[in-house]
Structure 1
Amino acid sequence: MTPNIRRNERPETGGVRSRNRLAAAALRLSLLLTALVVSALALPATALAECVAPNELWVGCTNVVQGGYWKTNEDGTLTVSESNDYNVYYDGNGNLWLNNANIVGQGSGLSEHKTTGIYAYYDEWVDTDIALTIHLTGDNSVSNGYPIYVAPWGGSASLTITGQGSLTATGTYGGNGGIFVNGDTSSLTIENGADVTVNCARSSAVTIVADDQGTGTLTVDHATLRAYGYVIDDPDDPYGICFSYAGSSSDIVDGSRVLRVSGNSIVYTNYMQATYTRLVVDASEEDGGIVFDGKDGTVYGNVTLQEDLEIGEGESLTIPQDATLTIPGGKTLTNYGALTIAEGGEVINNSALFNDGSVKVAGSITNNHYIYNKEGGTFSGTGGLNNNNADSSGYFYNFGAFSGITVTGNTIQHFVTGVTLTGSLSMAVGGTETLTASLTPSNATERGMTWTSSDPTIATVTENPNDETEATITALKPGTITITAKADNLDVTHNKPSATCEVTVSPVPITGVSLNKTETDLTVGSTETLTATVRPTDATNQNVTWSSDNENVATVENGKVTAVGTGSTTITVTTEDGGKTATCTVTVHGPVGPWLSNPDGHWHACAACDDRLDYAEHTSTVENEKKATCTEEGYIGDTVCSVCGYAIAKGETIPATGHSFTSYAPNGDATCTEDGTETAACDNGCGATDTRSDEGSALGHAWSEPAWRWSDDGEEFVASFACENDPSHTLELTAAPTSEVASEPTCTEPGITRYRAEVELDGVTYAAEATAADIPALGHRFEDGVCTVCGAEDESYVAPQRPDPRPEPEPVETDPELPTTGDATAVGLLGALACGGAALAIGAALRRRSR
C-alpha cells in the first residue's frame, strides 16, 4: 500500500517526504507572508485560482524552464539544438514537446530532480497551482527513478499528456515511481490519441495524490493507458494505479477519487485503488471506455473499438447493464478468456468476433458480420443472438459448444470439428460392411463427408447419398487398406477434420470339394476328364491337386484320367486351401473289340469279362446328304450313329426345285421404234438365265433442233430434223413463210424483207427467220440539181444561164392617162409617184421638226 503522503513533502526512500529546510522556512516565513499579501492585493481575485507554469522544469537533469530546443543524447541527457532539429522543446509557458525523445534521469538516490526524467515543481513557499502539458510526437521514453514528477510546494497540480505519439515511462525506484502528480487537487489527463505505457517494478505506476478535502482525477480521453506497477520488488503484489491522499484518512471526501474514460479509450492496469475511500469510474454515455483492472475488464458506457482487442486466457471482459461494445468494420475482438454480456448489455458486431473461450450472454448480441466460435469455445446463456439476415450478412460459424441462447435471423452453422470411426475392421473377400462416422459436435449442420479407400482394388467405399456420414465397404481381394472419412468443411485451423479405419480383407476359406463322378469305367487307352467343384464357389483360393492311388491302372493330370492297365484305382482331388478332398473310383477294363450296337445304343465288350463297357445311347449324325438343285433331285441323308456307325434311319429323295426368275434387268438394246430385251438370273443361284422382250421399252425419236434452208423454188422454208437416238433417222418439214418489211428502200439502197415460218413436230413448235434485200431502191428525183427525196446533189447538173442585167431605166414622157392593168410603164410610174410622195412627206416632217 502507498503510505499517506503530505503534499508539501518531497519523496524519499520508502515514500516518506521530509522538510529538510524547516529551519530556513521559519526564518523566511514572515517575509513570505508579507509578499503573498502584497501579491494578493496587486492581482485580480480570480488570478489566485489560475494554474501557472512550473518555475522549475528539469528534463534529463537539464533545467529547461526558460524555453528552447534540445536534442537527446544516447545517455538520455540534453544538448541545445535548433528548431529544425530537436527532440525536446519547451515554450516557457507550461507546454513541453517530445519528438522521438529518450530522456533518462542522471542521478542515483533521492536528490530532487537528479533521479527524475521530467521534474516539474514550483519551489516558492506559497500555494501555487501549476500545470504542465506534454505533447507527444513519435515514440518517446522517460526513465530512471521517477520518470515524471509534477508537484508544487503548495497548491494544485495538473499534468496533461496529449498528441498522436507514444510515451513509455519506466520507473526504477520504490515508493512513488512512474508518473507522480501531487497537489491539493491533482489531475492527470491522457488524451487526443496519446498511447502511454508506465512500468514500475518497485512502486505504483501512476500515483495521484490530493489533499483529504481535494480531488484526485485520472482522465483518459481518446487515448490508451497501460499502467503496470508492483509493491517493492514483489512481482506477486501488483500496484498499477494509486489514488492517495495528504492529510487525514478520515477526512477524505467520498467520491473524490475518479477515473474518467471517454472517447473509446482503453485503460490497462494490473491493479488500481483509492486509499481509504472508494474509487469512482466515470464514463461518457456516448463514447465511454474499457478499463482492465488486473485481468478483469469492464466496458463503461457505449464503446466502439479503435483497435483489435484480445481477451487473453484467464482474463475477462464484462459488458454491464446499459453498456454497449461495438466491433466496427476492420476491427476484431478475440476472446480466449471470459466474455460476459450482462442483462441490459449489448455487443454489436460489424466485423469479426473470434471465441476460443467462454461467452455468457444474458443481454444481447447483434451480429451483422461474422462470429467464429472455435472448437474450444462456448456460447451459453439466456440472452439473445440476432444474426442479421436483412442483407444475408450476419453469420455464426460454430465449431464449439452452443446452448441456451435464443437465435433470430440467420441460423447458426454448426461445423464439424471432429470425426470418429471404428478403428479397425476385418472382412472376407466379397463381403460388405457399413461404416458410420460420428461427428463432433453431434448437432453439426454441415454434415458433408468425403470417403476414400487407399487401395480400391482391395476394397471400395461408397457413401450413402442420403446420409454422407455412412458408407458401404466392399471387399474385393485379400489385403489391408485404410478407409478415410473427411468432413467437407474446414475447421478453424483451415483443415478438414477426418478419421481413418484400417480394413483387413481375408480370403474366403474353402469348406469342401466334390467331383462330378464318384466312380467310372474306362478301357485301356481311353481317357475321361473329371471336374472338381470347390465350395463355396467364391472361395478365394480355387487351386487343387490331383493324384492316383495306382498309376499302373490310371494316371491323372489336371483332372484328365488316362486308363493305362486293367484294374481299379482311386483318383483324389485335394484343395490347396484347407486340404479338402474328394475321390472317384476308376475301373479299367481290358482290351475290347469293335463297337457292338442295337437300336437302343452301343457298347464295347470286355475281352476278359464280356461286360458291356462304355454303353451309351447312339449319337445321331446325317450322312450322304445332298441338296436338291433347280434341275437335279436331292437326298435328305441317312441317320447313323457317329460313334459306332449304326444305321438309325434311311433317307429320302428331294425333288428338283426348278428355276426361279424374278429380278429382270434391261439389256439396253431398245431402239427408237423397237422394244428391247431384259434378262434375269435364277434366284436359286444355279447360274441359269432367262431373256425376254422388254415390253414398252422402245425409245421413240428424240429430235434435235432442225437445220433450216430455203426450198429449191425459193418459196418455202425447209426444216431438216435428225434423231439423237439414231442419226440415220431424219425428217424434213416445209412451211410457207410470212413476210414483212424490215426496212424501207432508199434512193440508193434496196429495202429489206423479213420472212418467218413455223413447223410443229411431236407437239413442239420450231420457228425460223430470214431477211432479204429484195425491195428495189427508189432512185433520185432531182429538181434544179437536188434530190427532192434525200437531198442529194446532182453532180452533173448545170444551171441554165440568165440574161445580162437589165440597163438602168431612163426617163420618158408619161402619158397623162393612168396605165391600164398589166402595163409595165404604168406600174413604174405609180412606183415613181409613190417614191416622190414619200420624199415630200419626209421633207415636210423634217421642216416641222427643225422649227
Structure 2
Amino acid sequence: MQLYVGNTNILPGGIWTSEDGITWTRNDSASDHCVRYENNILTLKNVTILGEFNASGNTSGAGIYAVGQLKQPVSLTIELLGNNTVSGFSGIAVAANHSSGKDASLTIRGSGSLIAEGAGVVDGGIAIRASNGAASLTIENVSVKASGGTSGAGVLLESANNGRAELTVNVSGGRLMASGSDSYGGISYYCGADRAAGHARLKVSGGALVNAVSGIKTVGAALPVPEADNGGGIVFDAGEGAVYGNVVLSEKLVLKEGKRLQIGGGASLNTDGCPIIVERGGRLEGYVTGEAVWKVSGVTLRQNSLSLKQDGTAELQATLEPTATNTNMTWSSIPNGIVQIIQSQTDGTKASIKPLKEGSTTVTVAAEGGQETALCNITVKAVEKKRECIAAAMPENCAGSAGIRAFSAEKEERNTSPFHHGRKGRNQSVPPPNQIRQAPRPGRYTGQSACF
C-alpha cells in the first residue's frame, strides 16, 4: 500500500507535522497538530490537511490517499483525536489497484471529529473504490461530515468490475452527515459492470444517526433498506427520516424545516434526557419516550389594535402554531409606562392590560426567545368629566340663560295674546272653550327656571 497525506508519502511511519497542510515533515517529538502512522492506523490530531496533485507521486489530489498493491486488497483505519479537516480533489480516497485490485475498506473511529471535503467530479468527501471486490465504510462512535460540493458525492462506494459486489456503509454510534451534488447525492453506491446487480447496504447500530442530506443514490444496485443491529439508528434520505430498531439518543436531535422523522414498524425512540427539538416546518410522527419540544413557528394575537379609557382594562390572548405546551412567553410594551401588563401565572399566552396614563404604546408577545412575535397597538384615552346641574327652585336663583329666556317668552305671550284675561278693552272677547288657556299642570314649565 502507498499512503499519502497532502503530497507526502508517510508510509515509513512516525509522527508528521506541516506548516501549510500540504507538505509534511517527520517530527517524532510533536504531541499536537500532527499525524502519526503506525500498524496501519493513521491518527489525526487537530490537523488541517490539503490535497495537491503531484504527477510524481500522489496522482489523486486527495487530502489523504491510500492505494493498494497489485492484486491486493487495501484497508485503512483512521483514528480521530480532536477536530480535523481534510480536503482536496477528494477529502479521503481509498482505492484498490485499478487494474486488478480487490476489496477496499476504510474505518474511522476515535473520540474526535472529521470534516472531509472534496471538490472533484464524482469523487467527494470520502471515496472508496474496489475495482473487483467489495467496498465498505465503517464509522465507530465519531462524528463525520463528508461533502462532495456541487460536483461529487458526499460518500462514494464503487466496485467497477464486479456487478455483484457488496457496497456497505456501516455506522455504529456517532454521526455521519453526507452532502453532495444533485446528481451524485449524499451517499452514492456505484456498480459499473455490465448487467450489474450490486448489493447496496446501509447498516446502523448503537443509536447511530445517518443524514444523507442530498439523498441516497445508486447505479447498478437497488436502493438499500436500512438494517438495524444492536441499538439501531436513525436514517435520513434527503428530508425523510425513519427510526430503525430500538434507539436511545445520546445527544439532542433537531428536526429543521423540511425534515420529517417517522417512528413506526416496530421501532422505538427514547430521548433519554436528550430532547428532540422540532423547529419551524419540521415534523415528528409516532410515539416518543421522553422529551419532545415543538419550537413555536408562529404567534398571533386575536386583537391587533385596542382603544381603552384610563379606567378600563383589556385581556389579550396569544395563539401559538403549532399548539405548544411549556412554552416561555414574554410580554412587553414600547414605550413603557402607558399600560401595565399582568401575565397569567397559569397560562403565559394570556395577559391583562391595565392603562396607566393617556398615550399610545405597542404591546409585544414573544415566544422562544423572541424568534416569533405578535403585536397589538393600544391607545389610552383620558376619562371625560361629567357635567352636573341642579335645578333652582325660583327663576332668580337660576344662573342659566336658558331659563331666563324661557321665562321671558312666557311673559311676552301673556301680554300680547288676544285671549289675555286682563283689563277689558276694544276687540277683547272671550275665546272659544277650546282656546281657553289651561292652568299649568304639576311638573310642566310654569315660568320657573329649568336648568340644563
Q: TM-score scaled by structure 2?
A: 0.70
Pair 1:100–1:483, CA change in 2 (3 A): closer
How do residues 146-185 of structure 1 correspond to structure 2 at under 5 angstroms? 146-153=90-97, 154-183=101-130, 184-185=133-134
Runs of at least 5 residues in structure 2 that lack an aligned partner in the other structure = 340-349, 409-452
Verify the 8 A CA contact 1:454 1:482 in the aligned structure 2: no
How do residues 107-256 of structure 1 correspond to structure 2 at under 5 angstroms? 107=53, 112-113=58-59, 115-124=61-70, 126=71, 128-153=72-97, 154-183=101-130, 184-210=133-159, 211-230=162-181, 239-248=185-194, 250-253=195-198, 256=199
Verify the 8 A CA contact 2:7 2:22 in the aligned structure 1: no
CA distance in 2, matches of 1:218, 1:195: 13
Verify the 8 A CA contact 1:264 1:287 in the aligned structure 2: yes
**1:71 is matched by which residue type in structure 2?**
T
Q: 1:582 aligns with which of 404, 424, 442?
A: 404
Q: 1:257 aligns with which of 193, 197, 200?
A: 200
Verify the 8 A CA contact 1:76 1:102 in the aligned structure 2: no
Verify the 8 A CA contact 1:482 1:502 in the aligned structure 2: yes
1:420 aligns with 2:303: yes
1:437 aligns with 2:329: no
1:347 aligns with 2:224: no
Q: For 1:202-231, what per-residue CA distance to the aligned partner results, in whole angstroms no more than 9, with x for missing partners?
A: 211211012211100011111211211115
Pair 1:83–1:492, CA change in 2 (3 A): closer
Q: For 1:473-500, what per-residue CA distance to the aligned partner results, in whole angstroms no more than 9, with x for missing partners?
A: 99xxxx983699999x995448999774
Q: Which has the higher contact order (CA 8 A, sep 6+)?
A: 2
1:531 aligns with 2:397: yes
Verify the 8 A CA contact 1:105 1:147 in the aligned structure 2: yes
- The Cα shift of 1:439 comes to 3.0
Pair 1:484–1:142, CA change in 2 (3 A): closer
Verify the 8 A CA contact 1:198 1:206 in the aligned structure 2: yes
Q: For 1:314-361, what per-residue CA distance to the aligned partner results, in whole angstroms no more than 9, with x for missing partners?
A: 2222223222222222545233223232xxx42112x4x3213xxxxx
1:321 aligns with 2:265: yes
**1:328 is matched by which residue type in structure 2?**
D
Verify the 8 A CA contact 1:158 1:181 in the aligned structure 2: yes
Q: 2:4 aligns with which of 17, 42, 58?
A: 58
Equivalent residue, structure 2, for 1:90? 37
Verify the 8 A CA contact 2:192 2:220 in the aligned structure 1: no
CA distance in 2, matches of 1:471, 1:64: 72
Equivalent residue, structure 2, for 1:363? none
CA distance in 2, matches of 1:172, 1:294: 21
Equivalent residue, structure 1, for 2:411? none
Verify the 8 A CA contact 1:264 1:288 in the aligned structure 2: yes
- The Cα shift of 1:192 comes to 2.6
Verify the 8 A CA contact 1:259 1:279 in the aligned structure 2: no
Instruction: Quote the sequence identity (%).
Output: 27
Runs of at least 5 residues in structure 1 that lack an aligned partner in the other structure = 1-54, 232-236, 357-373, 377-399, 401-416, 457-468, 519-529, 533-572, 586-851
1:336 aligns with 2:214: no
Equivalent residue, structure 1, for 2:20? 74
Q: 2:249 aligns with which of 302, 305, 308?
A: 305
1:505 aligns with 2:360: no
Pair 1:84–1:272, CA change in 2 (3 A): same
CA-atom RMSD, angstroms? 4.2
Verify the 8 A CA contact 1:117 1:142 in the aligned structure 2: yes
How do residues 544-583 of structure 1 correspond to structure 2 at under 5 angstroms? 573-574=399-400, 580-582=402-404
**2:196 is matched by which residue type in structure 1?**
D
Q: For 1:653-698, what per-residue CA distance to the aligned partner results, in whole angstroms no more than 9, with x for missing partners?
A: xxxxxxxxxxxxxxxxxxxxxxxxxxxxxxxxxxxxxxxxxxxxxx
**1:85 is matched by which residue type in structure 2?**
S
Pair 1:311–1:471, CA change in 2 (3 A): closer
Q: Secondary structure at the match of 1:150?
A: strand
Verify the 8 A CA contact 2:22 2:50 in the aligned structure 1: yes
1:267 aligns with 2:133: no
Q: Secondary structure at the match of 1:216?
A: strand
Determine which structure has more spread, i.e. the larger CA radius of gyration: 1
CA distance in 2, matches of 1:168, 1:422: 51
Verify the 8 A CA contact 2:196 2:220 in the aligned structure 1: no
How do residues 603-618 of structure 1 correspond to structure 2 at under 5 angstroms? none
CA distance in 2, matches of 1:187, 1:516: 111
Verify the 8 A CA contact 2:184 2:217 in the aligned structure 1: no
Verify the 8 A CA contact 1:491 1:497 in the aligned structure 2: no
Pair 1:502–1:72, CA change in 2 (3 A): same
Pair 1:485–1:296, CA change in 2 (3 A): same
Verify the 8 A CA contact 1:418 1:498 in the aligned structure 2: yes
Q: Secondary structure at the match of 2:288?
A: strand
How do residues 793-804 of structure 1 correspond to structure 2 at under 5 angstroms? none
- The Cα shift of 1:258 comes to 0.6
CA distance in 1, matches of 2:353, 2:151: 69
Equivalent residue, structure 2, for 1:481? 358
Q: Secondary structure at the match of 2:59?
A: helix
Equivalent residue, structure 1, for 2:431? none
- The Cα shift of 1:257 comes to 0.4
CA distance in 2, matches of 1:115, 1:470: 63
Pair 1:246–1:485, CA change in 2 (3 A): closer
Equivalent residue, structure 2, for 1:516? 393
- The Cα shift of 1:82 comes to 0.6
- The Cα shift of 1:159 comes to 0.7
Pair 1:419–1:445, CA change in 2 (3 A): farther
Pair 1:481–1:216, CA change in 2 (3 A): same
Q: Secondary structure at the match of 1:281?
A: coil
Equivalent residue, structure 1, for 2:426? none
Q: TM-score scaled by structure 1?
A: 0.39
How do residues 9-20 of structure 1 correspond to structure 2 at under 5 angstroms? none
Pair 1:294–1:507, CA change in 2 (3 A): same
Q: For 1:602-635, what per-residue CA distance to the aligned partner results, in whole angstroms no more than 9, with x for missing partners?
A: xxxxxxxxxxxxxxxxxxxxxxxxxxxxxxxxxx
Equivalent residue, structure 2, for 1:639? none
Pair 1:319–1:109, CA change in 2 (3 A): farther
- The Cα shift of 1:199 comes to 4.1
**2:134 is matched by which residue type in structure 1?**
T
- The Cα shift of 1:108 comes to 6.7
CA distance in 2, matches of 1:445, 1:102: 45
